[in-house]
Amino acid sequence: MNPKLAFIFSRRSVRKYEDREVPPEMLHDLLEAGMAAPSAVARDPWHFIVLRDKNKLNQLADILTHGQMLRQAGAAFVVCGDINQAHDQKESYMLQDLSAATENILLAANALGLGTCWLGVHPRPERMDGIRKLFQLPDNIIPMCSIAIGWPKDPPPARTRFNPDKVHQGAW
């Protein structure tokens, strides 16, 4: 692993957090990093719901059965997209834009010493509907994922899953 890329290799899903607040300034930094992501035709269809209230984090964990770490997290984002703002109003472009923003947030959090876990929402109707109801989303806003954010209890070791069998030079 190239040591210059340590900030990427050390980014891992964190599911156990210290009981410690994530300062609002750091959350702002993460949002700035997310919104620095590339976006098809610079449409920037993203919207972020910022959660710091334990009650809301617990309610989100009730919807996302694999998101129980939200109960310990210091904060979370719900990453949503405005389909009307997406390039050609295409869901695929919107999802690509939101994924790029999400990855920027994950890498920025790691660089700041925070741990994160990307929790899938889209395309599961029960998760999307639960989030729509909980946060009263307008019809044009589509929830894609949530990101648990906090101070990691036990940071996992850096790693790569590089597999040369998945690399094709010039053709399949």
Contact 9, 40 (CB under 8 A): no
Phi, psi of 38 (to 5 degrees): -70, 155
pTM score, two decimals?
0.97
Residue ranges and CATH numbers for the domains of the chain are: 12-153 (3.40.109.10)
The residue type of 13 is S
The residue type of 8 is I
- CB neighbours of residue 84 within 10 Å: 13
Cα dihedral 86, 43, 98, 79 sign? negative
Q: What is the pLDDT of residue 45?
A: 98
Q: What is the pLDDT of residues 1-54, one digit of tens each?
A: 899 999 999 999 999 999 999 999 999 999 999 999 999 999 999 999 999 999
